[in-house]
Copies of this chain bind each other. A is one copy, B any other.
Amino acid sequence: MDKETQQVPSDFFEYGALLSERELLIVNGLDRCTARYPKNSIVFREDEPSEHFYMVEDGVCFTHRHLEEGSRQIIDIYFPGEIVALDELSRSDHGSGLTTLSDSVLTAYDKTEVTQVFCQSSVLSRLLINMISREHAILTERLVGLARYCARQRTANFLLEIRHRIERSKRVRQHGPNRTAGKVQDIREPTRQAPDVVRLPQAVIADALGLSAVHVNRVLGQFRDEGYIDLSRPGITLIDLEGLDGIAGLNSRNRLGMMG
């Protein structure tokens, strides 16, 4: 692969569409605007006019909806390499707000331009549809989880899903030539990027799972006592992945394959 390939937003690779030279040029030619956002800053609010979608370059952020009483529901959490607000391509306003959890770097793409440009190419159209469909599958999974599983199951499933996405995020970010090679670069900051450590405030987990922070804490306490996780250090350290998977009790379907 050449230099141009490395400029392509890394997440695109995940969708199995082999882009030709022509499509790569199109994608690389897109207008983009990269900016830095401090921790806990609001990138956009729900109901604001929506002109861009974003790719997370660095940091962690989440989409959310505010409810009347002051509580909020977190729709999804995004890690580096993931794309935010893809589902809003055809909306004129934001269906949910976007807030950063840590200092973040985001790249904004113009929705109108992307839609128009992508629709010109059948390969890119397919790619876009695949990406949106994947979001849809994740959302369906989450819906079933919220409706039918208890706090223990939801929490265990959540921890595993976040772990999976952190891993995927790391993998995706080593894009370019190194992707297929077995060569793995050393992790730069073991404390921040350590594997199997979920570093999210319990209040955020609660808002994502539709639970109270107090009860999330209680469930995590149970998991700690049962030896599944470790809470003595900052963050949630996953110890027994199979055990958590057993608690989650969800079929392996949620590890969603892509493409068709």
A residues whose Cβ falls under 8 Å from a Cβ of B: 47, 50, 65, 67-68, 71, 73, 75, 87-92, 95-96, 111, 115-116, 118-120, 122-123, 125-126, 128-130, 132-137, 139-140, 142-144, 146-148, 209-210, 249, 251, 253, 258-260
Contacts and interface: CB of A to CB of B under 8 A. Distances in A.
B134 A90 contact: yes
Contact of A75 (B71, B123, B128, B143): B143
Contacts of A89: 129, 133, 260
Contacts of A119: 122-123, 125-126, 129
A76 to B, nearest CB: 9
The 10 A-B pairs at the shortest CB distance, nearest first, are namely A147-B210, A119-B122, A119-B125, A87-B136, A90-B130, A125-B125, A90-B133, A90-B260, A92-B260, A73-B144
A111 B130 CA distance: 13
B137 A87 contact: yes
A249 B23 CA distance: 46
A259 B112 CA distance: 12
A65 B254 CA distance: 13
A129 B130 contact: no
Nearest to A68: B249
B134 A139 contact: no
